[in-house]
Amino acid sequence: MHQPTILVVDDDPTNIEALSSALLEHYEVRFAMSGTEAIAMARMMPRPDLVLLDVMLPDIDGYEVCRLLKTDRLTASVPIIFVTALSDPVQEERGLASGAVDYITKPFSPAIVRARIRNHIEMRRAYELLQRLAVTDPLTGLANRRHFDEALLQEVSRHRRHGMPLSLVLMDIDEFKHYNDLYGHPAGDDCLRLVALTLATALRRPADLVARVGGEEFACLLPETDGKGAAILAERIRKLIIDLAIPHQQSNVAIHVTASFGVSMLDHQHQEAEQSLYQQADVKLYQAKAQGRNRVIG
């Protein structure tokens, strides 16, 4: 596996030398000799997996560097460990309060520095994995309901500030209970995965969000898209799902799997709440079902 990258920030060549020899065998090591250089290098891709930071630097002090890295979206999640000659508890507390995960005093034991680095890198990976799992639907890999609800709140408030239209497409697979009954639950799951993939590839703008919001229900949240555009997209998805040609012998709609769609929008004339955006789409979806399924109502 590819070695993690450590950014060592220190203005003293002897310290750099000592840390390098402790780390070089296990890590890819980069150096910065001032606070300004440290910030620039921490922002560079690929971002470091961890920063070792001296307190006394020629330009900005280490506490300030730490604070700046922690408040910058690009570097906020990178763990920082102070490595310093300042062994006073007040300094240590200040270091931890500025956002560092750990504080090591010089002279240090190379083995302990390595062990602490390894622990913090592992914790960060576990945290990132958890964060990703918390917003992902395990069956399809799409955003889950929790992610969708958060995004909906955010987009509605963005819409209120900027007045750009916001649209929502709700989709529900037709006669899916019969599908499971005839082909079995594993085949039902395969069908859901294929439909999810179709949705994910049909949405092209980076701001669009597609989520699995229920068992066989999906939502597309479309910022800066009006109802007309959203209905065109829904119609395109409806056809793509038919084109998958997934056999459905127990459907009363068609010989293949189909889906129904409800489309709603917020624009500057219709200042409604996020709940109503969802409810409107749900009402439209219900109408699509009542009118025979396999259709878009906007």
Size of the site for ligand GH3 (CB under 6 A): 16
Q: Using CA atoms in the order 56, 57, 60, 62, what is the torsion angle rounded to 10 degrees? A: -50
CA distance 288 to 260: 6
Instruction: Select from 156, 153, 170, 152 the least CA-distant residue to 267.
Output: 156
- Find the binder of Mg ion among 24, 40, 44, 56 (CB under 5 A): 56
Whether 92 is catalytic: no
Convert residues 125-154 into a mask of x (bound to ligand GH3 by CB under 6 A) and - (unbound). Answer: --------------x---------------
Q: Is 172 in the site for ligand GH3 (CB under 6 A)?
A: yes
Shortest distance, position 139 Cβ to ligand GH3, whole Å: 6
Pick what 189 binds: ligand GH3, Mg ion, none; C-beta below 5 to 8 Å, kind-dependent: ligand GH3
Q: Is 216 in the site for ligand GH3 (CB under 6 A)?
A: yes
User: Is-contact 4 31, C-beta < 8 A?
Assistant: no
Q: Is 289 in the site for ligand GH3 (CB under 6 A)?
A: yes
> From start to end of 191-233, where are the E strands?
209-214, 217-223
Which residues, 6 or more positions from 141, have their beta carbon under 8 angstroms from its beta carbon?
Answer: 196
User: Is-contact 211 143, C-beta < 8 A?
Assistant: yes
Looking at the Cβ atoms of 10 and 102, the one nearer to Mg ion is 10
**DSSP output for 88-111:** -HHHHHHHHHTT-SEEEESS--HH
Q: Is 192 in the site for ligand GH3 (CB under 6 A)?
A: yes
138-165 burial, b if ≥16 CB within 10 A, otherwise e?
A: eebebbbeebbbebbeebbeebeeeeeb
Single out the catalytic residue among 150, 216, 224, 235.
216
Q: Is 226 in the site for Mg ion (CB under 5 A)?
A: no
For residue 218, the cross-strand partners are 171, 212
Shortest distance, position 278 Cβ to ligand GH3, whole Å: 17
CA distance 173 to 218: 9
Shortest distance, position 14 Cβ to Mg ion, whole Å: 10
Pick what 235 binds: Mg ion, ligand GH3, none; C-beta below 5 to 8 Å, kind-dependent: none
Task: Select from 35-43, 46-54, 136-144, 279-287 the region that touches Mg ion (CB under 5 A).
Answer: 46-54
Which residues would be at the binding site for ligand GH3 (CB under 6 A)?
A: 139, 172-177, 180, 185, 188-189, 192, 215-216, 289, 293
